[in-house]
Amino acid sequence: MNRTAIIITAFLAFSIILACFLYLEMPEQMASHWNAKGQVDGYMPKLFGLFMMPMISLICLVLFIFLPKIDPLKENIKKFRIYYDGFILVFMMFMLYLYFLTLLWNLGVRFSMIKMLMPSFGILFYYIGVLLKNARRNWFIGIRTPWTLSNDKVWGKTHELGGKLYKIAAVFALLGFIFEDYAIWFVLLPITTVSLFTVIYSYYIFQKK
Q: Would you list the domain boundaries of the chain? A: 2-208
User: Would you say 141 and 135 are in contact if contact means Cβ atoms under 8 Å apart?
Assistant: yes
| Other CB atoms within 10 A of residue 52 CB | 16
Q: Please, which residues bridge with residue 158 across strands?
A: none
Task: Give the pLDDT score at 37.
Answer: 82
Task: Give the pLDDT score at 49.
Answer: 92
Task: Give the pLDDT score at 9.
Answer: 87
* First-residue to last-residue Cα distance in the chain: 37
Task: Give the pLDDT score at 208.
Answer: 87
Angle, CA of 4, 105 and 29, to the nearest 5°: 105
CA distance 120 to 189: 17
For helices 183-208 and 152-178, angle between their N-to-C axes, nearest 10 degrees: 170
Residue numbers of the chain with a pLDDT score lower than 50? none
Task: Give the pLDDT score at 2.
Answer: 66
